[in-house]
Amino acid sequence: MTAAPLHLAGERLMLDPSGILWWPARRLLAVADLHLEKGSAAARRGSLLPPWDSRITLDRLLDQVRRWRPEIVVALGDSFHDRLGAARLPGPEADRLRRLGSETRLVWVQGNHDPEPPEGLPGEHGTRFEMGPLLFRHEASPAEPNRGIRRQPSGPIEICGHHHPKARVATRAGSISRPCFVADNRRMILPAFGAYTGGLDVLHPAIAALFPLGGRAFLLGTGRLFSFSLAAIRQGT
């Protein structure tokens, strides 16, 4: 896999095709929207989803941890699909998270699906996590009104999840839709990492309103990213 560099607030960040964010200067790995135990939550409502989503999601995450060897792992909220998700986590998967917490500084950012600390698991918990010029939170703060002027950000750069961004682009073989990072000079939204997570198109008002002056989408491909401006995606629809 080839990660793509992106510079924000003077910091070099690496966007990985797996969907994780790597900050080399701080040895920090960020990941959004794991939604662990979504399968068991669906089963309790009578939906017959395979119960392997947590295992698959953690396999992918721990592959990236072994690859990048972070000192800090920040989970950007909705790490569990509901308040009781951590309690339903199978023993082997819970043990893997405990080992991760013993080897790294593990930070659980509060999400709307998991507003409380995961019971029985190590790590810090809070509504936000700030380091240097970057502010890690689950959901982006509302965008300022568009005055038609591109300004340098006056506060910290937001690194968020929540929206599960995806983008649709035209190719020679027809249009394709892929999860993506989306960013401008003041915030970045990470794609959802969980095995059973869907996506919201970057042109949807909930995402587009956060980038009133435009931005770029970085679509996850096989081993690489594909970058498109939001304007080009809009023109191609």
What does DSSP say about strands 21-23 and 28-31: parallel, antiparallel, or unpaired?
Answer: antiparallel
Cα-only R_g, the chain = 17
Nearest to residue 169, comparing CAs of 141, 126, 197, 201?
201
CA 142 remoteness from chain centre: 18
Alpha carbon distance 122, 98 (integer Å): 6
Q: 3-state DSSP call for residue 65?
A: helix
Strands 134-137 and 128-131: antiparallel
Q: What residue ranges define each of the domains in the chain, with the CATH number in brackets?
A: 4-143+153-236 (3.60.21)
Per-residue pLDDT of the chain (237 residues; tens, 9 = 90+): 789 999 999 999 999 999 999 999 999 999 999 999 998 877 777 677 777 899 999 999 999 999 999 999 999 999 999 999 999 999 999 999 999 999 999 999 999 999 989 989 999 999 999 999 999 999 999 865 544 444 555 689 999 999 999 999 887 777 889 999 999 999 999 999 999 898 999 999 999 999 999 999 999 999 999 999 999 999 875
Q: Which pTM value belongs to this model?
A: 0.92
- Kindly tell me the sign of the dihedral angle through the C-alpha atoms of 82, 86, 87, 91: positive
